Amino acid sequence: MRFSYKNVCLEAFSYTLPEEVVTSAQIEARLEPLYRRLRLPEGRLELMTGIAQRRFWPAGMLPGDQSVRTAEKAIRIAGLDKRHVGALVHGSVCRDYVEPATACAVHHRLGLPERCAIYDVSNACLGLLSGAVQVANMIELGQIRAGVVVGTESGRGLVENTIRRLNSDTSLSRNDIKPAVASLTIGSGSAAMVLVDGGLSRTGNRLLGGVARANTDFCHLCRGGTDESADAAPLMWTDSETLLQQGVQTARLAFDEFLDTLGWQKAQIDKTFCHQVGRAHQKLLFELLGLDPAIDYTTFDRLGNTGAVALPTAAAIGIEQGRLAPGDRVALLGIGSGINVLMLGLDWRKSLGDEGTV
């Protein structure tokens, strides 16, 4: 699928992060029974993934609580009058309840107009990017003038339940624990994006378009749900190696379409922000796409994999740190389990200043 836009600007990114920092060394210390039984060397988690730490929200926090804070910040950065917001999409894996949509409570607390499309989008690690495409489509069609996409991921429950399972099941071998490694890389965070039509934009940061591509032959490689034996605590099993290989191969095919859709050559891409998985993922992706890793901005080493908010959080922090310059061609390269790939291109003109929230 290809899409292009003439009247859509990606006006602002924002993020908030938890205060609590949890290192990979601390997680390994809690896995001491498993490490001792299987004689695993300390430091392997960071060595394998490149992830030194991640952050966790306080136990019991509802994702929507942070999404309100992050969306409010994005609207403030954009300098947008809330009466222009015609859509609010909540796109994280984590949500407050099965129903109603988490977007409902966020919409209410933000005080957005009643004539506003509000709903949740679920697409694994591509939820926020998928929401951005839907909002962009509405703007391009003239249905709305502005929209907000927001989400909040909370990794504490998944990581803690994975630790409990790995320590308690003494039948597990070294090979058996491999599908659980990805769960130990998960972190927490919150991110938002504001999209507007050209008439409302103060930046001129045009969203040019992009492509979507699926490879559902491998939809079984990463499955998350609940562990019914532990009070419905979250649990996820991932064939990380195969998902890595098939994910970047799907991205390689999508990338050719992406360049053709935007009329770009790969050498013309000035900066990239990608989904944040780990060191091996970034290395193989950039090798297969033929891109210089120096143009990428990464956060996985200090934030881990924060799911659907990972890419927009990296973009928000990178922009805050002056990563982008006027005239930059920016590629947002998203890969999520499923397998789904979503790539968007930006013509960057101006960064609106604000301080990050931790």
Whether residue 332 contacts residue 194, with contact meaning beta carbons closer than 8 Å, is answered with: no
Whether the predicted pLDDT of 233 surpasses 90: no
The strand pairing partners of 219, in sequence order, are none
* pLDDT (0 to 100) of residue 144: 98
pTM, full prediction: 0.94
**pLDDT category of residue 227 using cuts at 50, 70 and 90:** low
Q: How many Å apart are CA 274 and CA 285, to the nearest integer?
A: 10
Q: Which of 9, 94, 104, 125 is catalytic?
A: 125
CATH classification at residue 328: 3.40.47.10
Q: How many CB atoms lie within 10 A of CB 219?
A: 13
Q: Please indicate whether residue 99 is annotated as part of the active site.
A: yes
Whether the predicted pLDDT of 229 surpasses 70: no
Angle in degrees, CA 94, 97, 100, rounded to 5: 115
Answer whether residue 243 is part of any domain.
yes
Whether the predicted pLDDT of 112 surpasses 80: yes
Domain extent, residue 307, equals 204-347
Answer whether residue 288 is part of any domain.
yes
Q: What is the mean pLDDT of the chain?
A: 95
Q: Which of 99, 114, 228, 355 is catalytic?
A: 99
Residue 132 C-beta-side C-alpha neighbours within 13 Å = 38
pLDDT tens-place string over residues 43-94? 999 999 999 999 999 999 999 999 999 999 999 999 999 999 999 999 999 9
**pLDDT category of residue 358 using cuts at 50, 70 and 90:** very low
Strand locations in the chain (E): 2-4, 8-16, 20-23, 53-56, 85-90, 117-120, 146-153, 189-197, 206-214, 222-227, 233-238, 271-274, 329-336, 340-347
* pLDDT (0 to 100) of residue 251: 95
CA-to-CA dists, residue 330 to 134, 140, 150, angstroms: 20, 20, 20
Average pLDDT of the segment spanning 269-276 = 97
Answer whether residue 214 is part of any domain.
yes
pLDDT tens-place string over residues 246-272? 999 999 999 999 999 999 999 999 999
Three-state secondary structure call for residue 148? strand
Answer whether residue 324 is part of any domain.
yes
Whether the predicted pLDDT of 235 surpasses 80: no
Answer whether residue 164 is part of any domain.
no
* pLDDT (0 to 100) of residue 355: 45
Answer whether residue 356 is part of any domain.
no
Angle in degrees, CA 333, 121, 192, rounded to 5: 60
Structural domains in the chain (count): 1
* pLDDT (0 to 100) of residue 225: 77
Whether the predicted pLDDT of 287 surpasses 90: yes
* pLDDT (0 to 100) of residue 221: 86
Q: How many Å apart are CA 251 and CA 271, to the nearest integer?
A: 17
The percent of residues in the chain predicted with pLDDT above 70, rounded, is: 96
* pLDDT (0 to 100) of residue 17: 98
Whether residue 202 contacts residue 337, with contact meaning beta carbons closer than 8 Å, is answered with: no
pLDDT tens-place string over residues 113-155? 999 999 999 999 999 999 999 999 999 999 999 999 999 999 9
* pLDDT (0 to 100) of residue 232: 56
Answer whether residue 295 is part of any domain.
yes
Answer whether residue 188 is part of any domain.
no
Whether the predicted pLDDT of 195 surpasses 80: yes
* pLDDT (0 to 100) of residue 356: 45
**pLDDT category of residue 238 using cuts at 50, 70 and 90:** confident
Whether the predicted pLDDT of 170 surpasses 50: yes
